[in-house]
Structure 1
Amino acid sequence: MSLIQAFKSLAGKFKNGTASDNAIATATPVLVASDPVLLALLSDTLKQASLTFEQTEAHLLTSEGLVFAVQRIESVVLGEDRVRTCTKIHAWHPTYFPQGIFEFQHALAATEEAAFVDGFKQWINMDFQVLRDATLDVPVNCTVIEMNTAADETNATAHFRQVILGPVAHLASQAGPKKKEEHPFCPCCLFTESIAAFHDVLQSDQLVGVRLFASRDNQGILAADCRVNGEDFQAAIAPLVQYAEAWPQRGLEFRKQYIVIRSVSRSLDTASKMAMPLPE
């Protein structure tokens, strides 16, 4: 059985009732092939993290129905023992995102291989956790923000938009002020501080993966990056920069997160859920 056939078989399984009732109809996916060297490195890194999967010649498959491929974007020697790499990991699911989504992994290490592996470790610790939760009715690894959308002329059925908040990578080169922050940093901050930029995304039914990043260096220079399904999302840059500007002085600092926004027809009833209104 080819991977495409296996993908369609999984789609039928999920469509026949083993997936959440928010499942969407599937389309034939456009599955890109992996770089074989990087696929082997990603496979080894997943095994070292005690994660189970099946491997084909060009893809990795998980028990949740996720399919992954990895490609090389660049490898740049910056100096002695300094190599910067960038890879792209594609993800598909036969029900929730058959069209596929992708995200980039940036890393810096002494060797090319070490940099690739470091990028994969970051992806496992952050993105992979969210993608797995995005295939479950009740996420088990991540906190969820939930917003209610009422039925209207274009959408006959009321539903809920869920924001699955992945782990946050947070670095600060100095200790913060002893005075307690008015609102200490938490996993919802990057999203809630830029939520107005996602108005149209939240009003839709589309499942999207979102990368959020904000930083301030030792000289106070601010930077931000946001991508939706791997593509630049400029609307969130200004609010993320404004958010970083308000951080207490801690020298070089950055905060980075991957989240998934999806629609469901049933509300969660768990302690990990946070409710909030949709932005107007």
Structure 2
Amino acid sequence: MKSFLKSVQALKNQWFSSAPAVNPVRLPAGVTATDPVLTALLITVLQQHQKPTEEGEGYVRLSSGLCLSIQALEKKELGPERIKTVTRMTVWHPQFFPEGVTEYQHALGKDESSALSDGMLNWINMDLLALEDAIAEYPQQCAVIELNTAAGDSAAARYRQIILGPVAHLATQPEKKKEAHPFCPCCLMTETMAAFHDVLQTERLLGIRLFVSRDQHGQLNADCRVNGEDFPAALPLLIAYAEKWPQRGLEFRKQYVIVRSAENSIHQKSQAVQASENTTR
């Protein structure tokens, strides 16, 4: 562990020996400041994947304005050069969602450093893309499902936009029979939409983790969390969805989804852009 701490501290010194000070932001209520060692490792992984960062007091801020705090929760040795780690990432934006959203990262590696780095990398490749689109006026990286939630003629037009982050999909056997609807970024959410009816009617920003698996013996397992809290209402629907999959041995499907409220429709924007393009032709 000492060598790990020293190597991460050396990386921290490399990145921040001459870094400018960051204008401080307030951590959300109940959020713990990131340990300096984890801060340094997180910054290193982000920098290596072209994500410019600044270091604050117990948090990391991206150029988009998103702020990150990460805590180590568990380290378990599963065998020689096989370490499992669990971390918790809280993300907030001082303007768009200062209360923050939380999610957990489970990862494996040959040592603690590689496991932690792998968990951070998976978060960058999946969760961060959806979070970046959550603060953009018109999402650019992810598909979006849009719901009109205006209550009546006197109500201001409001939309709930479901930002569909990238999916992780593993199957150990080739596909022998085509699914009626091939797996795409909308599937996990549309198959479980009924479970989220009540929370979709709110104005809260939601970070939803969806996961379902089936092993080679047909055993099913599902997990769903909303803002880091277990959400059991979605589990029967996830299980029912997995029961329809063609047999492909061990298989899992996983996704992180953001739900936000917006005043402007993404479809209105598309029409405006199209009108502008037609005018300039």
| 3-state SS of paired residue (1:98) | strand
* Counterpart-to-counterpart distance in 1, 2:264 and 2:250: 42
Paired residues of 1:150 and 1:158 also in contact (CA < 8 A)? yes
Write the deviation string for residues 241-264 of structure 1: whole angstroms up to 9, x where unpaired: 110111111100001100100111
- Contact 1:130/1:259 (8 A) holds in 2: yes
Report if the CA contact (8 A) 1:96-1:207 is conserved.
Answer: no
Alignment of 1:160-239 (within 5 A): 160-177=159-176, 179-239=177-237
2 CA distance for matches of 1:6 and 1:45? Answer: 22
Asked whether the equivalents of residues 73 and 87 of structure 2 are also in contact (C-alpha less than 8 Å), the reply is yes
Alignment match, 2:8: none
Aligned: 1:249 with 2:279: no
Give the whole-Å Cα distance in 2 for the aligned partners of 1:41 and 1:63: 18
Tell me what 1:35 maps to: 35
Task: Output one character per residue of 1:65-109: Cα deviation in whole Å (capped at 9) or x when no partner.
Answer: 211011000000111111110001111111221111111000012
Which one-letter code corresponds to 1:167 in the other structure? P
SS in 2 for 1:193: helix
What letter matches 1:164 in structure 2? I
- The range that moved more, 91-100 or 131-140, is 91-100
Unaligned runs of 5+ in 1: 9-27, 272-280
TM-score by length of 2: 0.84
| Cα distance in 1 for residues equivalent to 2:28 and 2:183 | 39
| Alpha-carbon distance in 2 for matches of 1:101, 1:38 | 19
Q: What residue number does 1:51 align with?
A: 51
Q: Superposition pairs for residues 67-146 of structure 1, below 5 Å? A: 67-146=67-146
Asked whether the equivalents of residues 144 and 162 of structure 1 are also in contact (C-alpha less than 8 Å), the reply is yes
Tell me the percent identity. Answer: 53
User: What is the aligned-residue RMSD (CA, Å)?
Assistant: 2.0
SS in 1 for 2:137: coil
Paired residue secondary structure (1:259)? strand
Q: Which residue of 2 aligns with 1:7?
A: 25
Q: Secondary structure at the match of 1:45?
A: helix
* 2:256 corresponds to which of 242, 255, 258: 258
Amino acid across the alignment from 2:254: K
Distance in 2 between residues matched to 1:38 and 1:6, nearest whole Å: 19
The answer for the alignment partner of 1:15 in structure 2 is none
Kept after mapping to 2: 8 A contact 1:167/1:187: yes
Scaled by the length of structure 1, what TM-score is found? Answer: 0.84
Equivalent residues, number? 249
Paired with 1:213 and 1:238, the residues of 2 have a C-alpha distance of 12
**Structure 2 letter corresponding to 1:34:** T
Q: CA deviation at 1:142?
A: 0.6
5+ residue gaps, structure 2, are 1-20, 271-281
1:223 Cα deviation (Å)?
0.5
The residue type equivalent to 1:129 in the other structure is: L
What is the CA distance between 1:57 and its match in structure 2? 4.1
User: SS state of the match for residue 85, structure 1?
Assistant: strand
User: Which 4+ stretches in 1 moved above 4 angstroms?
Assistant: none
**More helix, by proportion:** 2
Q: Which amino acid aligns with 1:255?
A: R
The one-character-per-residue Cα deviations of 1:3-31 (angstroms, maximum 9, x if unpaired) are: 7x7437xxxxxxxxxxxxxxxxxxx8335
Closer, same or farther in 2 for the Cα pair 1:6/1:112, shift >3 Å?
closer
Shift of 1:32: 2.4
Residue 152 of structure 1 and its aligned partner are, at CA, apart by 4.7
The answer for the alignment partner of 2:14 in structure 1 is none
- Decide whether the 8 Å contact of 1:207 with 1:263 is kept in 2: yes
